Chains A and B, each alone.
Chain A
């Protein structure tokens, strides 16, 4: 399960567009990960421009 470091997150939603299982949603300024869907594939962790996604 991936976690979001909200001190770093710019809520650019880049991670949402790359998540293969649609586990991430941007609610206005907050990235939320659906624990039930996340498969810990780390794609968003690799992508995040500021390192706000933690595996």
Chain B
């Protein structure tokens, strides 16, 4: 089988890339190793309205399971800071429907899909990639001018193309989540809980959905005394008011790549989404970044294919576009993360005293310098902030 573009992985990044390529008239094949596109999710399913609007995406109504108007943040002792406003509005999607909807949009644009089909390896021969795929129909070889690796944190495409896509344990949250029914909490907010004993170097979350909620946490191994799962069980036990009669209807795990990986292309290969570790380093959200990366990748791929030159040098334009849009912000957010990782519980309490919701929003937008002014009365924080946040 010969195609212009083979896409490995049918998550949001893969299906958006497929739709964009197919609508430009290219021959596109998407292979998905799972028998069903979507589950099991590795995701808390939150997405902001403005994030979607920026990408020009209008969700099919069936994708929406919860409607959110803000976030409530809790310090280790339970002090609550609320963030609201237009920028905080969002949805909790039903990921399995969302992914199938995106795939159906790509298929309408002309993309071909194969499910329960695993990419087994690839070889570069005469300027083309020969990719072995295995499905119910047996082993086949696909010849592709371009391979887009949308194959998630476990990306093999990157490794096969010689890119160093290995995640480091210091920048890779260990994530665990129950989807639970009968959770008693304000369903108009996402709820985030901080503390060294709650979720070391990460946070715990509750994202409400139509008749359930995603209850999970992410931790960094270097700060942990036990497994992520154990922290989650403890979190649920310690919030009896919320979880007294709640029960799990699903369990999910996952690695969250919270570092920006810089090498995203090789000859005839582009990585998008989690495969390129394109997750917001502060909150770990990855859907909008994944979709944006695919839109950018296809713009560059289109030019390269028209020119008949898909060399690394030409495809590098995609890395430059990404860097221009997200590079500076990501660097600042990495600094903020380094600062937050140094905070003890008592420091979180101090922050909860001085920061308002809009301050925290500004921080997540990589506006850092104002923090110094906010915490001049808290010398313990000032030292850390100067060390980690200032240039």
Contact = CB atoms under 8 A, between A and B. Distances in A.
A binds B: yes
Interface string B104-138: 00000000000010100000000000000000000
B121 to A, nearest CB: 11
A16 to B, nearest CB: 3
B169 interface: yes
A12 B159 contact: no
Interface stretch (B22-30, B205-213, B239-247, B251-259): B251-259
A4 interface: no
Contacts of B40: 10-12
B153 A13 contact: yes
A38 interface: no
Interface string B30-61: 00011100001010000000000000000000
Contact of A12 (B118, B166, B167, B253): B253
B176 A18 contact: no
Interface in B295-353: none
A47 B35 CA distance: 27
Contacts of A25: 154, 156
A13 B251 contact: no
A28 B142 CA distance: 20
A42 B187 CA distance: 40
28 contacts: A10-B251, A10-B252, A11-B40, A12-B252, A12-B253, A12-B254, A12-B255, A13-B152, A13-B153, A13-B154, A14-B175, A17-B154, A17-B155, A17-B172, A18-B166, A18-B168, A26-B33, A26-B154, A27-B33, A27-B118, A28-B33, A28-B34, A28-B116, A47-B221, A48-B174, A49-B176, A49-B227, A50-B227
Interface of B: 33-35, 40, 42, 116, 118, 152-156, 159, 165-169, 172, 174-176, 221, 227-229, 251-255, 257
Interface of A: 10-20, 22, 24-28, 43, 46-51
